[in-house]
Amino acid sequence: MIIERTKDEVIIRLPATLDTKDLEEMVNFLRFKEITATSKASEHDIEKLNKDVKKGRWAKQRAKLLGE
Based on the fold, state whether residues 46 and 28 are members of the same structural domain. Answer: no
Based on the fold, state whether residues 2 and 23 are members of the same structural domain. Answer: yes
Q: What pLDDT was estimated at residue 63?
A: 81
Contact 36, 28 (CB under 8 A): no
Q: How many domains does the chain have?
A: 2
- pLDDT tens by residue, 16-67: 999 999 999 999 999 989 988 898 988 899 899 888 888 888 878 878 888 8
Based on the fold, state whether residues 21 and 52 are members of the same structural domain. Answer: no
- Give the other-Cβ count within 10 Å of 54's Cβ: 10
Helix (H) or strand (E) holding 2: strand 2-5
- State the residue range of the domain holding 21: 1-37
Strand partners, 4: 11
- pTM of the predicted model, to two decimals? 0.53
Buried b (16+ CB within 10 A) or exposed e, 31-44: eeeeeeeeeeeeee
Based on the fold, state whether residues 2 and 32 are members of the same structural domain. Answer: yes
Based on the fold, state whether residues 7 and 24 are members of the same structural domain. Answer: yes
